[in-house]
Amino acid sequence: MAAASSTHVLVIGSGFAGLSAATSLAQKGYRVTVLEKNEGPGGRARVFREQGFTFDMGPSWYWMPDIFEQYFARFGKKVADYYELVRLDPSYQVIFKGPEAVDIPAAMSELRQLFERYEPGSGARLDEFLRQAAYKYKVGIGKFVHMPGRSLLEFMDPRLALDAVRLDLLQSMHKHVRKFFRDSRLLELVEFPILFLGATSENTPALYSLMNYADLALGTWYPMGGMHKIVEGMVRLAEEQGVRLEYNQEVQQIVVENGRATGVQTAQGFRPADIVVAGADYHHAEQHLLAPEWRTYDENYWDSRTMAPSSLLFYLGVNKRLPNLRHHNLFFDEDFSLHAQEIYEDPRWPSRPLFYVSAPSQTDASVAPEGCENIFLLIPVAPNLPDPEETREYYYNLLMDRLEKHCGTSIRDAVVYKRSYAHQDFMQDYHSYKGNAYGLANTLRQTAILKPSLKSKKVRNLYFTGQLTVPGPGVPPSLISGQVVAAEVEKENQ
């Protein structure tokens, strides 16, 4: 521990992965400083406040509560030490074609009844579907996502080979779910979590039915005060472990001498370090912060990667309460497969988009003034698209037409605050490659050792963490990514 305490680690970025890596390394005895480009912590999970409204800028779904509990438990803490967590019931609302609005209940018995209503016999098949998904969750989240993905030898254990077969890595999600369900509404319900993974269900391994276990069995939760409460809790924990966080400190260069990073250059000057962990966008860190001779990948490699979607977001403050909304609302009132095709197979702005509405003020009075509604609208869209103001405004009105119809009331005339956010904003605020919102797509060819490596192959003491490396996109995987990188740092620097 004494050797570690004299070793200084610089972590670039204070997103979930960066905070997780920093806190885990500090616990191991390293001196850790986090340098954050923006004015506050959280990365894509930042927060802003306007006119009495509190807007979470990014993640709004709290799934896999066990991952958060396990994270805080590593430091002898509980989630409840940092924020109040409540389970949502209904978990969310789905608006199918028709339109038909359906609440997805938290209780499994009620969920079976819902499935039976749409397709007789599907309640029992749901049990079997979730039983298999539970196994994938146990093995996938319990074992595979904690592997650093640096060598095939990690997967040579015969028990893991057996697990790999049962994890359905070679079967598509499309084929898998159709073994259990036929009703189009049930198929949309079980396939929606992979819409953000970066591929159609035909090109996504059936392994990812583990997301259905997280959704339907483990439930949908919410930290009172907003998702940024998770970030605030992680920052408090990091500081309790001795991590130093510095904001408005954009890294301009990772300085390398003789194959070793000696520190980083910021606008304020050179910052020496013994080890550097890049929690910023991997492509940006490699292609823009490193000199060409120290890059593992070239621009052709990155351009050949399949990216997960970007998003067009709207943050709205509404001066009245809106009927017929739940905390989470999925608008599947247009063609599900067409939207997926327009994101992944023929990348362009969608013609008739699906969209998502988060209304946290339905659960939490603290995020909006009394009598008002806090609304977050999201359309998943292909990355690398132009997003001029006229395009944003076109989709705003398209969405509001459908939202007003669902709510049965005018909304646009009640909007007292409005902000849009899309590709160019992701690039400006996070150096996001091609303006993506969710990292690399979770296709079979971009899984485990086929992802960009968490360790530089040319710079001995440079590591990477976050949604463009193992295990992948999402808040829980990012928490795990930071822990995995910290373990690799300790293993190689003892």
Looking at the domain assignment, is residue 102 inside a domain?
A: no
Tell me: do 195 and 245 sit in the same domain. no
Q: Are residues 121 and 188 in the same domain?
A: yes
In a domain, 364, yes or no: yes
Give pLDDT tens digits for 320-331: 999 999 999 999
185 lies in which domain range?
Answer: 109-218
319 belongs to a structural domain? yes
pLDDT at 301: 97
Give the end of a domain, one of 218, 233, 265: 218
Distance between CA 138 and CA 210 in Å, rounded? 9
Same domain, 174 and 282: no
Query: Would you say residue 1 has pLDDT above 50?
Result: no
pLDDT in tens, 319-363: 999 999 999 999 999 999 999 999 988 899 999 999 999 999 999
Rounded alpha-carbon distances, angstroms, from residue 383 to 136, 303, 409, 427: 29, 12, 33, 11
Q: Which of 218, 253, 286 is the last residue of a domain?
A: 218
416 and 329 together in one domain? yes
The mean pLDDT of 367-373, rounded to a whole number, is: 98
Note whether residue 99 is domain-resident.
no
Regarding whether 339 and 382 lie in a shared domain, the answer is yes
Pairing verdict, β 251-257 and 310-318:
unpaired
425 and 312 share one domain? yes
**313 plus 417 within the same structural domain:** yes
Whether 461 and 361 map to the same domain: the answer is: no
Which amino acid belongs to residue 316?
L
- Report the CATH number that the domain containing residue 418 is assigned in CATH: 3.30.519
| Residue in this structure with the two tokens 């036929």, named with its chain if needed | 182
Per-residue model confidence as pLDDT tens digits over 379-437: 999 999 999 999 999 999 999 999 999 999 999 999 999 999 999 999 999 999 999 99
Task: Tell me which DSSP letter residue 213 carries.
Answer: I
Specify whether 285 is located in the same domain as 333: no
Q: Which of 177, 199, 218 corresponds to the end of one domain?
A: 218
Q: Is residue 479 part of a domain?
A: yes
pLDDT in tens, 449-459: 999 999 999 99
Q: Which residues contact 263 (CB under 8 A, 6 or more apart)?
A: 10, 255, 270, 271, 272, 273, 276
The structural domain count of the chain equals: 3
Co-location of 35 and 76 in the same domain: yes
My answer on whether 314 and 300 are in the same domain is no
What's the pTM value of the predicted model, to 2 decimals? 0.96
CATH at residue 458:
3.50.50.60
CA distances from 209 to 41, 183, 190, 201 (A): 32, 17, 8, 11
